[in-house]
Amino acid sequence: MSRYIDDYTQPNPRENFISLRLPQRVFIWLYSISLFFFTVLTIGFVAVTPIDVIKQTLGTSSSGIKLFIVIIICIVFLVASLFLYFLRLYQNRISLNDIPSKSVYIPFYGDLSKDVCAYIDKKLVECLTDIKVKAGPLHNHDVVINHPGMAPPEYIQKRNKSPSGDGTLLPPNSCYEDVIRSLGDRFSVDGRILTQIDIPKSYSFREMIISLTKLVKAGENPPNFPDVKKMIELYEEFKFSGELINERDLLVFMVEFDKLAFFFQGSFDTKDKSMDQSRPR
């Protein structure tokens, strides 16, 4: 936790208003019209000078010409002020348009002042020294980066060094949910899995695995048979828990499913050979 976060306190918006035991809505309303109020007040103060000049001009000789000159001067001043104001807005607009909206803006020499450049350099040095050490697990090679849901990319797997092999057990960037979904898609399209025997498409994964297990066992209990119960529990947890799939759990499921495929294929290969030998020649 940084020092800034430790010392930071959430500001109370009510503290930004002067407490006069009035509803906060009143202060918000006053704040919203403050710009209009101060604009009118400023115009009132500025208008005193031309009004006074016009009044004094009316009491002199050739008042019409002098009054015309005063009014022209005021109009020129007003037009010049508006021109400078809108010119500034236009320049700001042009400057903002020069900044690319969908790409990184790289300032050139002269775009920033020297003190701003010095401040940026100072912060970059801090990022490469102090902050880099505290930035996260990439700097600490003893930390294994392995998040549920997806296998780490290749460059992360190369730095994941642990006796258990966590974070390197599955191919890089593998989406665990896609692996589980592919089993259901294969069964829903072909109506079969692990074998050429048709299975009713209305079967759930539990019913399908139990049916295949009965075909393989045929009343026997072969050695090294997969833990069917564990495999079904893991699959249903992957599909219906709503949680991201863990790498270890998916690996256990794949190992047990591969065992079942091996037993199933071996069993039917033996049956096919025995049938071929029993055929008359």
Q: What is the pLDDT of residues 220-260, one digit of tens each?
A: 666 778 888 898 999 999 988 889 999 999 999 999 888 88
Give 40-80 pLDDT, tens digit per residue: 888 888 788 777 877 777 777 776 777 788 788 888 888 88
Sign of CA dihedral 117, 124, 104, 88: negative
Report CA-CA distances (Å) from 267 to 191, 192, 199, 270, 276.
Answer: 21, 17, 18, 5, 14
What are the residue ranges spanned by the domains of the chain?
3-97, 107-136, 176-276
Beta bridge partners of 150: 175
CA-based nearest residue to 185, from 239, 227, 250 = 239
Report pLDDT for 12: 53
Closest by alpha carbon to 266, among 238, 235, 226? 226
pTM, rounded to two decimals = 0.47
Tell me: the pLDDT tens digits for 183-223?
A: 877 766 665 666 666 677 778 888 888 887 777 666 566 67
Q: Which of 251, 84, 112, 82 is nearest to 179 (CA)?
A: 251
pLDDT band at 281 (very low <50, low <70, confident <90, very high): very low
User: In the predicted model, is pLDDT for residue 278 greater than 60?
Assistant: no
Instruction: Kindly report the number of other CB atoms within 10 A of residue 239's CB atom.
Output: 16
